[in-house]
Amino acid sequence: MILLDGKATSKAIKEEIAAEVNARRERGLKTPHLAAVLIGEDGASQTYVSSKVKACERIGFVSSLIRKPSSTSQEELLQIVQELNEDDDIDGFIVQLPLPKHIDEQEVLLAIDPSKDVDGFHPENVGRMALGLPCYLPATPYGIMQLLERYEVPTSGKNCVVIGRSHIVGSPMSILLSQNNEPGNCTVTLTHSRTQNLESIVKNADILVVALGKAEFVTGDMVKEGAVVIDVGITRVPDASKERGYRIAGDVDFASVSEKCSFITPVPGGVGPMTIASLLKNTLQAAGDKRN
């Protein structure tokens, strides 16, 4: 079994980006600037956004964090998006999801300038991705594709099963892995909460992408011998033995599944760090050849 080490791979990618930032500076090109908008006080979202901002600072990007209370109205948020769209210094920005219930997420995502949409959530970028055109790939799928590429995991002709049809992970993964690319060329089955006979479908997977958000849902008895397993789950499970009162669990029971795999991502240290590295790659792409 080979561990798909997202921590080490993301470190290597971040070093490549930091070198690129220095080279840009020498050529008189602009320092990339990422802004993040965080609405509300959700603990997990705060953790994710602060990791993104810290990662920017470490590799030499400029970053801005815009924090607003959960009482922020749709109009106020749309106004913030408009200002970020018009601010020439900001190359890319993200609006952290989920948003409070009273805000229409689709309307907010539609308001983002697609050329600054480094999360790749705007319908224009989603459409371009589906057609295989140049676009910003959503960060988590992009990170998974890079792990598969850098570890030279064979994908062509393989049966791939994706569990979970979210717009952020499951749906784009099913599209990317089915495309005529390397990695890609899989025969993909996208499963979800209404899927029947999930266990027999999963048992047939050469490549299994698990993104349903249920701690340790996939166990060793469900997995084919030699499968490649990508665990996208990050759930906080109460654990009194930990100082912070919880532990981080994936969607995969690592102990039993890892015994049967050819490749597997750990949690933490697998897909999570790759997501941040991908967001930074997208921001570098957004800065393009702009000058200071």
Active site residues: 52, 96, 119
Question: How far does the chain reach from its first CA to its final CA, in angstroms?
Answer: 47
Q: What angle do CA 39, 31, 112 make, to 5 degrees?
A: 35
- How far is it, in rounded angstroms, from Cα 109 to Cα 121? 7
Shortest Å, Cβ 22 to ligand GUN: 27
User: CB under 6 A: which stretch of 63-71, 92-100, 151-159, 170-178 binds ligand GUN?
Assistant: 92-100
Distant-in-sequence, close-in-space partners of 228: CB < 8 Å, separation ≥ 6: 148, 153, 158, 206, 207, 208, 261, 262, 263, 264
Q: Nearest CA to 160 among 150, 142, 168, 148?
A: 148
Element (H, E) at 35: strand 33-39
Pairing of strands 2-3, 263-264: parallel
User: CB under 6 A: which stretch of 27-35, 72-80, 89-97, 243-251 binds ligand GUN?
Assistant: 89-97
Query: Tokens in use for 99?
Result: 């948003």
Shortest Å, Cβ 2 to ligand GUN: 26
Q: Which of 9, 10, 72, 96 binds ligand GUN (CB under 6 A)?
A: 96
What residue spans of the chain are helical by DSSP H? 6-26, 43-59, 74-86, 105-111, 123-131, 139-150, 170-178, 198-203, 254-258, 271-287
The count of residues interacting with ligand GUN (CB under 6 A) is: 9
At 18, the amino acid letter reads A
Please answer whether residues 109 and 121 qualify as being in contact, where contact means their C-beta atoms are separated by less than 8 angstroms.
Answer: yes
User: CB under 6 A: which stretch of 91-99, 148-156, 207-215, 220-228 binds ligand GUN?
Assistant: 91-99
Question: How many whole angstroms from its chain centre is CA 231?
Answer: 12
Torsion of CA 228, 279, 124, 37, to 10 degrees: 130
SS (H, E, C) 129-172: HHHCCCCCCCHHHHHHHHHHHHCCCCCCCCEEEEECCCCCCHHH
Contact pattern for ligand GUN over residues 165 through 194, marking x by CB under 6 A: ---x--------------------------
Residue with CB nearest ligand GUN?
97
Q: Which is nearer to ligand GUN, 90 or 222 (CB)?
A: 90
Does 139 sit near ligand GUN (CB under 6 A)?
Answer: yes
Shortest Å, Cβ 140 to ligand GUN: 6
Does 56 sit near ligand GUN (CB under 6 A)?
Answer: no
Shortest Å, Cβ 72 to ligand GUN: 15
Shortest Å, Cβ 37 to ligand GUN: 8
Does 271 sit near ligand GUN (CB under 6 A)?
Answer: no
Does 94 sit near ligand GUN (CB under 6 A)?
Answer: yes
Q: Which of 5, 119, 216, 253 binds ligand GUN (CB under 6 A)?
A: 119
Among residue numbers 239 through 258, which ones bind ligand GUN (CB under 6 A)?
none
Does 97 sit near ligand GUN (CB under 6 A)?
Answer: yes
Q: Which is nearer to ligand GUN, 32 or 143 (CB)?
A: 143
Among residue numbers 149 through 168, which ones bind ligand GUN (CB under 6 A)?
168
Does 110 sit near ligand GUN (CB under 6 A)?
Answer: no
Contact positions toward ligand GUN, by CB under 6 A?
A: 94-97, 119, 139-140, 168, 275
